[in-house]
Amino acid sequence: MTDNRRDLLLFAGLGVLFAIIFYTQGTAYSLRVTVEALCYAMIAFGLSLQWGTAGLFNVGIMGFIAAGAFASLFVTFPVNQAFWDSEGPAMLGDVLVKVAIGAAAVFAASRSGKIGLPKPLVTFLTLVTLAVAYLVVSASLDPTARYIEREAGFVGGLGLPVYFGWAAAGIVAGAIAWVVGKICLGLRSDYLAIATLGIAQIIKTFLKNADWLTRGTQTVSPLPWPVPGAAEVGFTAARASYLVLTAVMLVIVYMLLQRVYHAPWGRMMRAIRDNEDAASAMGKDVTKRRLEIFVFGCVLMGIGGATLIHFNTIFDPNGFVDLNHTFLIWVMVILGGPGNNRGAIFGALLVYVIWTMSEPVTLVIFDYIRTIGRDMFGWQAPADLNSRALAMRVFVIGLTITMVLRFAPKGVIPERLSRKA
């Protein structure tokens, strides 16, 4: 029970912090910070599940957020009639058919060992099929992309309700995670780290350059809101209702996660994390279970990313950066306490508030440094001091990660291991 009291105290402290922010920064701004913090908490749940419960190292969170955000954009954005009236859909359908045939051919080639072909030949066949399929698809995608960009700007959306978009966000992020996990989870965890890092960069590059699909750097806005917008019920009420929505989603996910954590499935996951060999000796399929939890975690990241992007109503591929969307979440989870869902929420809310506040604070501090340096030493500050000042925040994030790992590896709200079975 002392544990619960401690948690309660910590969350009460957090409540006081938010009350201070609401009091000093105004309601509209504070509501924004709170909603974003809750979205981050959803993403942090995903990471806490992967890292805390299963020990999987994902440094490509940004990629899953971006993929989820795009999926949601595609499903919910109003229909672009110019695209549907043009030749675009037919051409795109042609490309999709080629993708499907190519995928089927590659799959068949990779399974051709079943009919008795020797392994080197199978590998060779698969690689050749893959190369041919890639060339065919990219050759037919190129003119299609150019045509769509010329005739219709971009593909547009499907115009479905936002909730469908969020579901799609989870599905797409989960599907990507399944592919990555399928390849890397049987190997050592470092490989997963490298692969997720790579996939995140590639997803971002794709979203940035595929103008026909995402409008690229021209950005897409406004994304629809699932709740009445500012124009209908006013600024504060709109943001407040979005806040309620995210809070409800967060509570539901929290309760599900708690159930899962204490269920046999969660216990098995922790067993695999703590002693992989013992768990596999007990007959647990380690790789398969890891794949499950990896996909599940990424689904949460995708949904969290979609809620975040819809709140800000703008989809900007350049807005996804490793620092804000990967490492910040790592700080939230390891500071809050990996493997403990309360820790994830606590870490997310606290770190996000500190993070948003740190920007003006850093600028003020460096402004002082500039003034003092000029008055006392005649120092001419470089013109880009402000952007340099913000680099300080990168340093602080890195320092926090290394310090927490060394001095408080269990976080503020550590995982509680129950003694009884």
Minimum CB distance to other proteins, residue 58 (Å): 11
Positions in 245-304 near other proteins (CB under 8 A): none
- CB under 8 A: which stretch of 164-172, 221-229, 278-286, 394-402 binds other proteins? 394-402
Indicate which single residue of 36, 149, 316, 322 sits in contact with other proteins (rule: CB under 8 A). Answer: 322
Indicate which single residue of 24, 380, 402, 418 sits in contact with other proteins (rule: CB under 8 A). Answer: 402
386 touches other proteins by CB under 8 A: no
User: Rounded to an integer, what distance in angstroms lies between the CA atom of residue 100 and that of residue 106?
Assistant: 10
141 touches other proteins by CB under 8 A: no
Exposure letters 112-136 (e unless 16+ CB within 10 A, then b): eeeeeeeeeebeebbeebbeebeeb
Minimum CB distance to other proteins, residue 38 (Å): 25
Number of residues counted as binding other proteins (CB under 8 A): 50
CB 13 within 8 A of CB 285: no
Indicate which single residue of 38, 39, 42, 55 sits in contact with other proteins (rule: CB under 8 A). Answer: 55
Q: Hunting for tokens 């007990």 — which residue is that? A: 282
Minimum CB distance to other proteins, residue 153 (Å): 20
User: Rounded to an integer, what distance in angstroms lies between the CA atom of residue 127 and that of residue 202?
Assistant: 21
User: Rounded to an integer, what distance in angstroms lies between the CA atom of residue 307 and that of residue 42?
Assistant: 9
* Alpha-helix residue ranges (DSSP H) falling in 263-384: 264-274, 276-281, 286-312, 322, 328-336, 341-377
406 touches other proteins by CB under 8 A: yes
Minimum CB distance to other proteins, residue 9 (Å): 28
| Dihedral angle, C-alpha 401, 404, 409, 413, nearest 10 ° | -110
405 touches other proteins by CB under 8 A: yes
206 touches other proteins by CB under 8 A: yes
User: Rounded to an integer, what distance in angstroms lies between the CA atom of residue 421 and that of residue 264?
Assistant: 11
Indicate which single residue of 113, 233, 396, 410 sits in contact with other proteins (rule: CB under 8 A). Answer: 396
- CB under 8 A: which stretch of 89-97, 154-162, 251-259, 405-413 binds other proteins? 405-413
Positions in 178-197 near other proteins (CB under 8 A): 183-184, 187-191, 193-195, 197
- CB under 8 A: which stretch of 31-39, 205-213, 306-314, 348-356 binds other proteins? 205-213
User: Rounded to an integer, what distance in angstroms lies between the CA atom of residue 226 and that of residue 161?
Assistant: 7
User: Rounded to an integer, what distance in angstroms lies between the CA atom of residue 50 and that of residue 3?
Assistant: 24
DSSP bridge partners of 79: 156, 157
363 touches other proteins by CB under 8 A: no
Determine if the peptide bond prior to 143 is cis (ω within 30°): no
User: Rounded to an integer, what distance in angstroms lies between the CA atom of residue 315 and that of residue 319?
Assistant: 8
Indicate which single residue of 290, 400, 411, 412 sits in contact with other proteins (rule: CB under 8 A). Answer: 400
Indicate which single residue of 40, 57, 154, 242 sits in contact with other proteins (rule: CB under 8 A). Answer: 57
Per-residue tokens: 192: 């997963």
199 touches other proteins by CB under 8 A: yes
Minimum CB distance to other proteins, residue 56 (Å): 9
Exposure letters 265-288 (e unless 16+ CB within 10 A, then b): ebeebbbbbeeeeebeeeebebee
Radius of gyration of the chain measured on its C-alpha atoms: 24
Minimum CB distance to other proteins, residue 188 (Å): 4
> Closest CB to other proteins among 144 and 246?
144
138: how many CB neighbours lie within 10 A of its CB? Answer: 12
> Closest CB to other proteins among 120 and 264?
120
Site string for other proteins, 58-77 (x = CB under 8 A): -x------------------
Question: Which residues lie near other proteins (CB under 8 A)?
Answer: 55, 57, 59, 123, 127, 135, 183-184, 187-191, 193-195, 197-199, 201-202, 205-206, 208-209, 322-323, 327, 330, 334, 382, 384, 387-389, 391-402, 405-406, 409
